[in-house]
Amino acid sequence: MINLQNLKNLISKNPKHPTTDDFIEIHKGLEGYLRRSLFIGLRLNGVKYETSVDVIKMSYLNNRDLLKKTIELITQGTKTLVDFENHNPDLKELENLLFDFTSIYRNRVVHGVYDRINDQTELRYCYYIDKFFIEEFESTLISLGFKSAFNKPKDWGAKRTISSELFNQVIKRLSLGKITKAPRGIIFVQNSIALTKYNGKV
């Protein structure tokens, strides 16, 4: 999971001329922030620490569904995304831009459509929309009477859990989407590479 101090340091930056790498870094930070919030929500809903970590690593929801599910779990069903949007119109605007602007640019860079974003205006907006979204989500949590996503789950009231609930059961019970494909083990990879002309070159 994302290192919280690194994330705090990241969102404290205000680059005048952000680079494409800066944008990808803040976007990664935003997604890590949402998964940190989801982790707290899982712990509040009785999921063991180790199982919560596995869920964060291996479950998949698109970012809009992830945001909805995170709010549902972190507020223990007392608030929805609509409640957050109504409470903070700035958050709603930034959320729309996150899905309809910055995420599209992120995908184009990460999937090799763009080597980098050349338009400095577009790049600045990409960077700062992501940064401001984190700030507004945090401020909305606080103003609605919740803790910060930077707090520990126990600060939120999560208790130590000794549940024997399995990963698949958690995914089903909490409707956490699909399970992502796990990477092959390194022994399998090494043995497969050994069958090619690249044997011994890695």
For the cut 90, the answer to whether the pLDDT of residue 28 exceeds it is yes
Residue 186, CA atoms < 13 Å, CB-side half-sphere? 1
pTM, 2 dp: 0.86
- Calpha distance 57→42 (Å, rounded): 13
Instruction: Specify whether the CB–CB gap between 95 and 66 falls below 8 A.
Output: no
Residues 60-69 pLDDT 10s: 778 888 899 9
Residues 81-109 pLDDT 10s: 999 999 999 999 999 999 999 999 999 99
pLDDT at residue 89 in the model: 96
Residues 150-183 pLDDT 10s: 999 999 999 887 777 777 788 787 878 777 667 7
37 token code pair: 């919030």
- 20 Cβ partners below 8 Å, 6+ apart? 109, 114, 116, 117, 123
Query: Which sequence spans correspond to the domains of the chain?
Result: 4-194
